[in-house]
Amino acid sequence: MTNSPEMIPDSNPASRATDDQASFERLVEPKSENRLVLEGGVWHQISPKYVTVQLISHGSFLAIVVAATLVLALVLHLQWVWIVGGVLAVIQIWTLAILPRQARAIGYRLREDDLVFRRGILWQRFVAVPYGRMQLIDITHGPLDRGFGIAQLKFVTAAAATGVVIPGLAQSTAETLRDHLIEVAESRRTGL
Amino acid sequence: MTVPAPPPAAPPPQLVRSPLSDGEWHRLHPLTPLLRGGLFLLVVIGIVFSNLRDRLLYVFLPWLAPGVGDEVVEWEEMGGDPVDFVIANNLYVVAALTVLAVLIILVAIFYTSWRFHTFRITEDDVEVRSGILFRTQRRAPLDRVQGVNLTRPMIARLLGMAKLEVVGAGMSANVKLEYLSTANAEAVRADILRLASGRRLADPAAPGGAQRPASRTAALGLTVSRELTGIIEGSEAPVGEPESVVHIPLGRLVASHILSMSTVGLFFAIVAIVIGVTQGVTWMLFGFVPAIIGFGAYWVRSIFKSLRYSIAPTPDGVRITYGLTTTITEILPPGRVHAVEITQPIMWRPAGWWTIRINRLTGRSASDGSNDDFTTVLPVGAVADVERVLRLVQPAMTDDERALVVQQGMFGPTAADAFTNTPRRAWWIRPLSYRRNGFLLTEDELLMRRGVVWRKIVILPLARLQSFGLYQGPLDRLSGVTNGRAHVVQGPVTPFLAAIDRDVALRLFDDVARASVRAAQSDRTHRWAQDEMDAGIPVPPVAPPAAPPAAPVAPVAPPVAQPAAPAIPPAAPAAPPAEPTEHRA
């Protein structure tokens, strides 16, 4: 199951020629010997801009939570707001703290007949989806994503549990990857 | 190869039996509006009547309701009630005319909507057009058919009608033909399945549409004469009901419901309420009565549903029937089962009963209440029944594999266990079942065995597996194990396996990926009969017990019909080596 480079001539997002297609260089993995590891092949990673976008969106949510808490508690003297606001703020700060490492753990590999997707450090997840199982590919990008030129690619199969969602791809990468996936899926089309 | 021309080809007349499936547009049964709208109208009238019962009594039969008069006077004083207005101003005629007009308009609407509701069955699709102002047209490709079911609700059944539903893959993707006369529905279903099976005709020189009948009567005549000459092909569905392979005695059915967890729950509820009442908390009694009623209704309904359960092989798939008053019959073509789970709840163990559930694409919307109709393919059965049902829903399994599933999967672990189980060091993740918790990858299936209290064995055909995932949390990593989850279409079966050795799991990950790609590529079940025709095997994989041989003389054929016989060649399996899988993607 090695990953022959000529199989994936244009979908390889590791074409780091231009600056806005740069992706992470190194995968973050658990330290334990017992972690999940796949032999051979290259893990393609996502763009560092994903972290920026997520930091901005989570950060602004945190700012809103803090502001709302302060206003409600200090101006309107609602004491219970401290609890709700505090819990929300702690969750947000934690999310922000682990975000950069989480983003480095997201990877995908284009093998000969299937796509392997991985994410998570503490809770690792590996999913292998045969190309022929593709029902459709979704590319979504919000306003912030567009500003930074990244997009999220979702590989949809007939099973809802598959859950292969690759966030933070450079837009051009997402599009070439989509075209490539559709092309290989077409040649490996199977029934449901 | 189908021609991508705009007018879709009519199905070859040799393949269809019913005049309704000749590629032309047809209307549904004329009584349809009565069943679809008439009942609704009756309900509305019923509601109106029950609400105005006192009032109507007072107006028409005042001596029967002496007490109501005062109330009516009260209502009249409050004013604003249209009935009062009518009574007060003596507008009975106008009121009656208005009601009549509304009725006429409603009937006209129902009639028009029936006129506009048409369907046709072409060589590759089933199409339905409906709607007056907002026209909808739905076309379902036949090679994506997941099943065809025929529902006969109580009232429709009395009128000899049935509802046909072509099950597609996707949310609300079903094509419904309601209502057809039962005979027509049966014939149309057989036609749809025959066309969907991709069975090719023995004679390539008989193209579809070559001798298209000019009118419906001509089509009917053609069909009748075809029936009379009766030489179509060997693998015709046996006329009448095929014999069920499983019979559930009534006693077992009732006992299996009594021995269920909901009964245990009910028992505890009764205990709690008795204690509560004796302690003086009498209000608990009030919550109890509706609970009992609800439970009883559920109980009776599920027993009623399973009463007429039967499962039988037909050339075009497994035929499952359920229901006493409303019968539902579904034919599940081969390769439409995405996961099979054989379960034994702890309370059934002394009796040795098992139940089988499957995951399949239903094509119903999530709001549809009858979602789980055909997910239970065996409500309760002994080991022999399990084996027989398994043979039907997984015809590709060999006898050895089936024996393995029964001996080791259901009752295991035995000596010389073929399954790869949870390593000893991870016993604390599955403290009770770690010896049993394991998997086995065979040529075409992935088997997952788990549970000691609720014994379960999941059979996953690799050709249907959508994807496979490994999940490892920090505690799993500590023990050097990982969880595996197979992703299949939604249904009652969740193929999840905890605590497999990490190295074994990584190997499994690769093996499953490779095997499922291979299985999916060699899978031809979307046109299930085509391969056999190509290969020259006349017998379908699910061998029907009564498949008649391709005899050139039909049993009912009168001698006068004989000269017509050579016009259509008998169903010799000498099929042309058509390209096996040229379909629209």
Q: How far apart are the first and last CA of chain A?
A: 24
Among A32, A133, A189, the residue with its CB nearest the CB of B477 is A32
Name the packing angle between helices B53-60 and B68-78 (round to 10°). 110
Spell out which residues of chain B touch residue A113, defining contact as CB-CB under 8 Å.
Answer: 513-514, 517
The whole-angstrom distance between B474's CA and the closest CA on chain A is 6
CA gap B433, B413 in Å, rounded: 10
Instruction: For residues B366-395, give the mean pLDDT.
Output: 80
Angle (CA) A33-A39-A42 rounded to 5° is: 115
3-state secondary structure of A86: helix
Q: What is the pLDDT of residue B113?
A: 86
Instruction: For residues B189-196, give the mean pLDDT.
Output: 86
The answer to whether residues B309 and B325 touch, using CB atoms and an 8 Å cutoff, is: no
Q: Chain B contact for A38, CB < 8 A?
A: yes
Q: Identify which of B364, B363, B337, B349 has the alpha carbon closest to the alpha carbon of residue B495.
A: B337
Instruction: For residues A20-40, give the mean pLDDT.
Output: 84
pLDDT in tens, B39-66: 677 777 788 777 777 666 666 666 655 5
The whole-angstrom distance between A182's CA and the closest CA on chain B is 12
Q: A120: alpha, beta or left, given left = phi > 0 and alpha = psi -120 to 50?
A: left
Among B467, B517, B526, the residue with its CB nearest the CB of A159 is B467
Q: Chain B contact for A190, CB < 8 A?
A: yes
Residue of B nearest to A191 (CA): B526
Spell out which residues of chain A touch residue B144, defining contact as CB-CB under 8 Å.
Answer: 192
pLDDT above 60 for B234? no
- In chain B, % helix, strand, coil (3-state, to 5) comes to 40, 20, 40
Q: What is the pLDDT of residue B535?
A: 53
The whole-angstrom distance between B9's CA and the closest CA on chain A is 23
Under the banding of pLDDT at 50, 70 and 90, the label for residue B554 is very low
Q: What is the pTM of this model?
A: 0.75
Q: Which two tokens stand for residue B82?
A: 């249209």
Residue B211 makes CB contacts below 8 A (sequence gap 6+) with B13, B222
CA gap B190, B180 in Å, rounded: 14
Residue of A nearest to B513 (CA): A128
The answer to whether residues B449 and B437 touch, using CB atoms and an 8 Å cutoff, is: yes
Q: Is residue A131 part of a domain?
A: no
pLDDT in tens, A142-155: 899 999 999 999 99
pLDDT above 90 for A127? yes
DSSP H or E segment with residue A43: none
CA gap A154, A149 in Å, rounded: 17
Portion of chain B with pLDDT greater than 90, in percent = 19
pLDDT above 60 for A11? no
User: To probe the interface with A, which of B425, B460, B471, B487 has the most A CB atoms within 10 Å?
Assistant: B487
| CA diameter of chain B | 92
Q: What is the pLDDT of residue B570?
A: 39
Q: Tell me the domain boundaries of chain B.
A: 8-22+117-244+318-335+541-585, 35-113, 249-308, 336-522
| Count of residues making up chain A | 192
- The single-letter code of the amino acid at B448 is M
CA gap B95, B82 in Å, rounded: 10
User: To probe the interface with B, which of A2, A31, A32, A34 has the most B CB atoms within 10 Å?
Assistant: A34
Among B335, B467, B473, the residue with its CB nearest the CB of A129 is B467
Q: Which two tokens stand for residue B81?
A: 């009630």
User: To probe the interface with A, which of B517, B523, B530 has the most A CB atoms within 10 Å?
Assistant: B517
Minimum mean pLDDT among B186-200, B298-312, B322-336, B361-375: which range? B361-375
pLDDT in tens, B282-329: 777 777 777 778 888 888 888 887 888 889 988 888 888 888 778 888
Q: Which two tokens stand for residue A86?
A: 């505090």
Q: Where are the beta strands (DSSP E) in B291-413?
A: 310-314, 317-322, 327-332, 339-344, 354-359, 376-381
User: Cβ separation of A158 and B489 shorter than 8 Å?
Assistant: yes
The answer to whether residues B528 and B197 touch, using CB atoms and an 8 Å cutoff, is: yes
User: Cβ separation of A162 and B487 shorter than 8 Å?
Assistant: yes
CA gap A78, A95 in Å, rounded: 27
- A–B interface: beta-carbon pairs under 8 A: 119
Q: Is residue A81 part of a domain?
A: yes
Phi and psi at residue B164, to the nearest 5°: -110, 135
Phi and psi at residue B51, to the nearest 5°: -75, -35
Instruction: For residues B536-565, give the mean pLDDT.
Output: 39
CA gap B163, B330 in Å, rounded: 11
- Report the DSSP beta bridge partners of residue A138: A154
- Report the DSSP beta bridge partners of residue B137: B129
Q: Chain B contact for A188, CB < 8 A?
A: yes
Q: Chain B contact for A35, CB < 8 A?
A: yes
Q: Identify which of B305, B303, B286, B294 has the alpha carbon closest to the alpha carbon of residue B265.
A: B294
Chain A, 147-166: which have a CB under 8 Å from a chain B CB? 157-162, 164
User: Cβ separation of B470 and A129 shorter than 8 Å?
Assistant: no
Q: Chain A contact for B464, CB < 8 A?
A: yes
Residue B113 makes CB contacts below 8 A (sequence gap 6+) with B33, B130, B131, B132
Q: Which domain range does residue A80 map to? A: 50-99
Q: Is residue A30 part of a domain?
A: no
pLDDT in tens, B430-482: 999 999 999 999 988 999 999 999 999 999 999 999 999 999 999 999 999 99
Q: Which two tokens stand for residue B200?
A: 């090719």
- For the domain covering B336-522, report its CATH number: 2.30.29.30
The answer to whether residues B168 and B140 touch, using CB atoms and an 8 Å cutoff, is: yes
Q: Is residue A74 part of a domain?
A: yes
Residue B493 makes CB contacts below 8 A (sequence gap 6+) with B339, B340, B341, B357, B358, B359, B458
